[in-house]
Structure 1
């Protein structure tokens, strides 16, 4: 017994032309290989495109009542719907005016043919554009299913959101914690302009490797948006996450990274959010809160961490002695000066011990008091 054949729906083409004869001629030529829909003006064509998700290609006339082909094409390319912005559009005209061709191209037409084109050429053009539409659709589906980026190994935004949702659900059931942080280099636009895309990509890859090397197996590291990265850390209280974020910030601040023989003045900012400290009801809201805090940190000058309890300038974290020394060596003395009193108190016992055991005298001979 043979299995019943499964009918595969034909790709659908929308034909928009105010001439019934033109529409009938086109339909006669394509009906054996394509499903079709027809409309008599650009406005009706636009409504059809918005409502009918099965359309793979638009064939439209230029001169039409209500809304002409140029206006229809402009709406499509400016649409908020990605499926419409990417839709192949074949412009059809009764003349071969060069200006009309250039205008159609400028508005984003995919192809342009005259109404007198032969049936074989018309089908060849349509076949090519429909295959393009199907390939774009397949690519988007594959990207939606993708878990990790090929180049960086980072988890995708969708996967990070899924991991955060699962971690938050588990934390709520077991009265535990979930911390997330969103981190990015400061002044990325300036870096791109000064150093170029390749250098910024290399910097990001180095930072990703460093960050990945410092995370636990249960943590999830992924891309949040653009050049922003997100870390989902189950079971981590926010002070520990904030401390980790500050260690990252300090490491980048003193890193000796050069380009074209010049040291790059790099810094990062981080936004930290935590459940249950931050009273949010979803993982998406928790990530958005961390992202908003990152934005606030960058708008405040960058090179800072904003966590669940924002700090005033007077409450900024005092750097550890080793980090303070690294800052001075890296030429960032201004970052140390506000904390000199506290750092001086910390180092005083060491100076006294040096004075007693090594006859160390402060200031050294010849130095200024």
Structure 2
């Protein structure tokens, strides 16, 4: 059993606090000072600390040293602040500084998202005061977030409120036999940008993207922040042409951001996935529609970013307004989400493949049928 695991104190009635420090003396001191009031868990380096943060949602406060092997404190801060998990992203991280950490080191930690600092050697009173203050703040914040409908950073709807709005939009267009388009977009290379411009700059960038989205959409459209640098737009009654035009306009607006770092211009862009469902729109299929938009987003990112990739499915009246349909996309959907996700696209796929089948000679058809039977 590792030392980090054996030193854990298991008491679910107490607030859980994590200390990350490669010094055994510091870990034992923290356990002694906080053990009576908190459920203290410890890690001996940043790698182990991050693994514990990801695995344990009950951790409310993190104390971390800066200079550690494997993953240091700066990297811990970067990983926490760029996490897709909102709970992890908002964790209070208190940096434990020593004589070797000068003002420049503290400034760097602050820029990467440090919540507070405490200096070695710390005493029991200071350590407890910070642990209590940040744990209470985190607990209150989590309570507010559970009932809130607005993302505190951007002012847009949060994920829960966006999904509720999307359900309403799907219900509306289903009743009126109308179109709906769904956009999913993400800031390209956001983690790298975060490392360059720091938390303050990254937050400002996300706020600017949110402003572009707010100005671009109609009053009846749904808009929300789904993750660290990911947003979604619901466009009830909008068809492919209008939705694609909007997505391209958003890309152009963000690419026009003028940002510099130490005299060098920064490249900022977004990738957009567009999905226009076909057939009879169903509220129960909401997650599948989002999955298709996400697949398109991944294709846009993979293709280099700053572009729009779309999947427009066959309409219920038999017309096929499909421009970006591809067998590769269909296979990606099958691999990631299973056969149910592509059921309504199989007839179109067979229609597209029919000319290939017709081009085969008798021997090739027989060989293909044999392969299908043995598969």
**What TM-score, normalized to structure 2?**
0.49
**What TM-score, normalized to structure 1?**
0.49
- Compare CA radii of gyration and give the structure with the larger one: 1
